[in-house]
Structure 1
Amino acid sequence: MSEQSTVRSVTYDLLRSLGLTTVFGNPGSTEQPFLQEFPEDFTYVLGLQEASVIAMADTFAQVTGRPALVNLHSSAGMGNAMGNLVAAYHGNTPLILTSGQQHRELVIGEPYLGNREATELPKPWVKWSYEPARAEDVPEAFLRAYATALQPPAGPVYLSVPMDDWKRPLSGFTRTRTVSVRVAPDPERLRGFAERISASRRPALVFGPEVDRAGGWDAAVALAEKLRATVYGAPLLDRASFPEDHPLFAGPLGMSVKTIGDRLTGHDLVVVIGGEVFRYYPYVPGPYLPEGTELLHITGNPDVAASARVGDSLLGDPRAAIELLLETVTEGSARPAPQPMPRPRELPPAPNRPMTPPEVYATLSSVRPADAVIVNESTSTMAQQIEWLPTNRTGSFFATASGGIGWGTPAAVGVALGDRDRGVRRPVVGLIGDGSFQYSVQAVYTAAQHRLPIVYVVMHNQEYSILKSFAVLEETPGVPGLDLPGLDIASVARGFGCRAVDVETAGDLEREFKSALTADTTTVIVVATQPQKAML
């Protein structure tokens, strides 16, 4: 046995063989035995707070199509990361999270920086959580973590590794293996679904984020066109799976039980593919489906199928299911053509100061490059974004899969790093609310250090507009802490190394956005805007 061969060296060899050579993290003392003499063929992406680290790794994994490795600091770092771990879990992102446990000799005495009940802390937001019983088991634990993270439904996993394990001698680990990442739907049940779809008089399609993640964008368009079916945007979507400027697209479905039920009135059949039935918030009572409407549900996630309040479900890879449906459903040319979504795109007769969100989006629509990616965390203006900046390409829209904020700013970093990793250069536009920006403002440091082509457009309305909209709907007046006066966002962004400007007019926004596209660094454009009542 070589004197140099240790658990650490064997694990790094395994990670190389799996293609996991990018590590996202914020180094802590219990992680230094793993990170020491960091290999030159690996890349370490430093985030200044663990929640930001998770969001960066989340979109990096989504863009590259392979798991991302995240190294966190004991229980404190894992605790910081939990908010965005929820988003990664709901978004089915394959992440391998690791953190350092204290020295095995000390653990029984509850030492300082010990990770008490380490495997319990990240639950229920991981698929698997494990601390190896022996140092020799660390490499195999990584291999199982890799397989578990990738197998459908994909998602985060967690490993706690005692800090003294890394230096233990180990001769090697050669048992590599591969796993399936797609599960075919039951053909008999799928045929039954196809018959019901073909017999429908006025079907509606709802394509959820699983479709785009599975590479099913083109197949979804083909299915909608063959059926001549109305397509709605999934509620609270985190990936767009259908072109929002397509004639069959009828706009967002809504968020509440009542709104969704009202929108689906007149359809005899609703087919939800690759999403939940449905993501609801807030609670506004109403029928889950209109009278006389049936629902079919196809998803690769058994928990999502089980939690649906209505409908008949089918488990299977969404892309595979759509492609099989294309072969079996009857062409729908005899159906009446769906009414296209009205796109009023109304602007005020004279420019406002501060600008309204539609004015901001109208300006961006004239200068957005065709290949730009949008990362949205301006929660009160998402309806206006769809209206003015529709997603029309696969893999070009990202939002949080959970209800927390503080995901979008670092997520834009992960998208840009993922593009760079796969040799693609395209502008990344982060549409961020001023409240959301404060949750993870330190993420722009990573963007600036890597000189990423990100343009953040921060809408500065000096309040949590989405919460004020909820307060009206939920009849909860007098909620404190919803105003945000006194924020100098541009100065903070400059302090982290970004190019940053304040703008007040459409002309200024257009000029600065164009300049940002050619800048060799990350730009933060802060736009003074009027509060926008969210469309709930």
Structure 2
Amino acid sequence: MVSQLRDEERVVSVAPESTVHSVTYDLLRALQLTTVFGNPGSTEQPFLQEFPDDFTYVLALQEASVIAMADTFAQVTRRPALVNVHSSAGLGNSLGNLVAAYHGNTPLIITSGQQHREMVIGEPYLGNRDATTMPKPWVKWSYEPARAEDVPNAFMRAYAMALQPPAGPVYLSIPLDDWKRPLAGPAPVRTVSDRVVPDEQRLRSFADRISASSRPALVFGPEVDRSGGWDAAIALAEKVRAAVYGAPLLDRASFPEDHALFCGPLGISIKAVSDRLAGHDLVVVIGGEVFRYYPYVPGDYLPAGTELLQITADPEVAAAARRGDSLLGDPKTAMDQLLELVADGSARATPRAMERPRKLPATPSRPLTPPEVYASLSKLRPLDAVIVNESTSTMAQQIEWLPTTASGSFFATASGGIGWGTPAAVGVALADRSRGTSRPVVGLIGDGSFQYSVQAIWTAAQHKLPIVYVVMRNKEYSILKSFAELEETPGVPGLDLPGIDIVSLAHGFGCRAVAVDTTQDLERAFTQALTAETPTVIVVATQPQKAAL
């Protein structure tokens, strides 16, 4: 844009004065941060004013949904995502799903407005009190620029911090009066590395120990798929001829769950993991924690005679391991090098693959059981479909009937918090659209989880995203009832969910919606949803499923 001044019949073009706002937006363009996920507030409007035509604003109706959408958008596009939420209370609303982004190593740049600098000393209404403290410990870096002139450089540093390993969310608090301050540009653009090469000598010693093992096991965590290591994981497992287990409470699947070497997921307690690994003399955990435990069921951390090696890009994850020797490094890079170093394991006995009994009732149930639901979906799921799962009590049945078979095609929350899955499916679909990819997105959501972020389906409807939500309506927090039984705590209140009309809610937000109670109706609705050009919510009446704890 230029302004025109007429002086003695001459037209002179004068470039407008650069401001913090214009210089920052030019930097965001250079960094390809042109999609903004947000829910605007008064202190954010100076940042969003005259929103450029070459930027996209994705509006979600609650800040936790904003974070979850940006989370999977960044995971699928494999670059940082930009988030803008309201100061103070708005940032507070976002924290539940910020925990998931932190544990999932998702590079997010989260911004919120701060009140006018002139007012901050007096603790104004909706000011960011202790601005840099509030989002901790769930961000890698938290900053409020000391001067308006520092805003573009703060974004550049935030980008670098978010992307460098271990990747993760960062936070900027920006006073609303900073944006109009004059500032000469352009802001410097820097590139940063997003991988760390493992120590060569230590990796070689790990390779020697793997080669010497008589019955090794490999556990591939979510870092493997995030690093692009899916094919390297397959090649390593096949060369070593090792049993492969899914890491506990996976948020990304990193190995095909229908592979002959896949032996199923580990449990989620100390005892369950140890029992599962019995008989292995060496366990190699690549790209994951050792281990993600949840319920306390005491036992040995490792079976007697079993050693453990861990490769991770995250020093905190390495330091927190209760057993084993660790190596820091990018998982894909480490596996590529291990393939050259480990001895061929073809002489080892072939591990027994995961058993899939796939037992169904002799006659259809009323309500349906989760295995019946998954059996129907397994017949119709397209091979390239993406699954976003937040039906926590039925994840074991999902692996049995709907195994993940391709990289980047399974997503779940990394934190265990409820309310991530519904908006996360929106982020996946938006990311696919932005990169020109067309594949079905299927959200498997529990009815309790769906209520935490039901407003996210409005964003899906506004963008006409062809997401199929399958909501299993068992009218309770089934996972919590399973924990109540495990923890011997009878009489816990608030675990039942009667009286929720999910179909009407979905219609109200602009989605196609239908309730089904037979496999025939489910299959018909799912088939129709796959070709719809708008989100569909299929509510399936199901029996509660006791979780595998």
Instruction: Write the letter of the residue equivalent to 2:508.
Output: G
Could you give the per-residue CA deviations for residues 234-277 of structure 1, whole angstroms, max 9, x where no partner exists? 00000000000001000011100000000000000000000000
Structure 1-normalised TM-score? 0.99
Q: How do 1:400-479 and structure 2 match up within 5 A?
A: 400-479=413-492
Q: Does 1:370 align with 2:396?
A: no
Q: Larger deviation: 378-387 or 109-118?
A: 109-118
Structure 1: 5+ residue stretches without partners: none
Q: Distance in 2 between matches of 1:516 and 1:3?
A: 50
Q: Distance in 1 between matches of 2:72 and 2:407?
A: 14
Q: Does 1:228 align with 2:241?
A: yes
Runs of 4+ in 1 over 2 A off after TM superposition: 1-4
Q: Pick one of 240, 251, 258 that aligns with 1:238.
A: 251
Deviation at 1:416, TM superposition (A): 0.2
What corresponds to 2:526 in structure 1? 513
Instruction: Write the letter of the residue equivalent to 1:295.
Output: L
Instruction: Write the letter of the residue equivalent to 2:389.
Output: N
Instruction: Say which SS state the counterpart of residue 74 (structure 1) adopts.
Output: coil
Contact 1:462 1:485 in 2 (8 A): yes
What corresponds to 2:319 in structure 1? 306
Q: Does 1:191 align with 2:189?
A: no
Q: How do 1:85-234 and structure 2 match up within 5 A?
A: 85-234=98-247
Instruction: Say which SS state the counterpart of residue 179 (structure 2) adopts.
Output: helix
Q: Distance in 1 between matches of 2:489 and 2:265?
A: 26
What corresponds to 1:55 in structure 2? 68
Deviation at 1:453, TM superposition (A): 1.4
Q: Pick one of 33, 43, 47 that aligns with 1:20.
A: 33
Q: Pick one of 14, 23, 38 that aligns with 1:10.
A: 23
Instruction: Write the letter of the residue equivalent to 1:160.
Output: S
Q: Distance in 2 between matches of 1:167 and 1:528?
A: 55
What corresponds to 2:410 in structure 1? 397
Deviation at 1:4, TM superposition (A): 3.3
Instruction: Say which SS state the counterpart of residue 525 (structure 1) adopts.
Output: strand
Deviation at 1:113, TM superposition (A): 1.3
What corresponds to 2:89 in structure 1? 76
Q: Percent of aligned positions with the same letter in both sequences?
A: 80
Instruction: Write the letter of the residue equivalent to 1:19.
Output: Q
What corresponds to 1:346 in structure 2? 359
Contact 2:512 2:537 in 1 (8 A): yes
Instruction: Write the letter of the residue equivalent to 1:426.
Output: R
Q: CA RMSD in A?
A: 0.7
Q: Distance in 2 between matches of 1:91 and 1:190?
A: 25
Instruction: Write the letter of the residue equivalent to 1:87.
Output: A
Q: Distance in 2 between matches of 1:77 and 1:287?
A: 44
Could you give the per-residue CA deviations for residues 368-393 of structure 1, whole angstroms, max 9, x where no partner exists? 00000000000000000000000000
Deviation at 1:403, TM superposition (A): 1.5
Q: Distance in 1 between matches of 2:350 and 2:539?
A: 43
Q: Distance in 2 between matches of 1:528 and 1:422?
A: 36
Instruction: Write the letter of the residue equivalent to 1:59.
Output: T
Deviation at 1:406, TM superposition (A): 0.1
Deviation at 1:2, TM superposition (A): 4.9
Deviation at 1:340, TM superposition (A): 1.5
Larger radius of gyration: 2
Could you give the per-residue CA deviations for residues 114-149 of structure 1, whole angstroms, max 9, x where no partner exists? 111111000000000000000000000000000000
Instruction: Write the letter of the residue equivalent to 1:350.
Output: T
Instruction: Say which SS state the counterpart of residue 88 (structure 2) adopts.
Output: helix
Q: Tell me how many residue pairs correspond in the alignment.
A: 536
Instruction: Write the letter of the residue equivalent to 1:240.
Output: A
Deviation at 1:3, TM superposition (A): 3.7
Q: Does 1:32 align with 2:32?
A: no
Contact 1:426 1:453 in 2 (8 A): no
What corresponds to 2:8 in structure 1? none
Instruction: Say which SS state the counterpart of residue 484 (structure 1) adopts.
Output: coil
Contact 2:153 2:187 in 1 (8 A): no
Q: Distance in 2 between matches of 1:237 and 1:176?
A: 35
Contact 1:139 1:173 in 2 (8 A): no
Instruction: Say which SS state the counterpart of residue 97 (structure 1) adopts.
Output: strand
Q: Distance in 1 between matches of 2:136 and 2:32?
A: 27
Q: Distance in 2 between matches of 1:174 and 1:143?
A: 8
Q: Does 1:489 align with 2:489?
A: no
Contact 1:34 1:166 in 2 (8 A): yes
Structure 2-normalised TM-score? 0.97
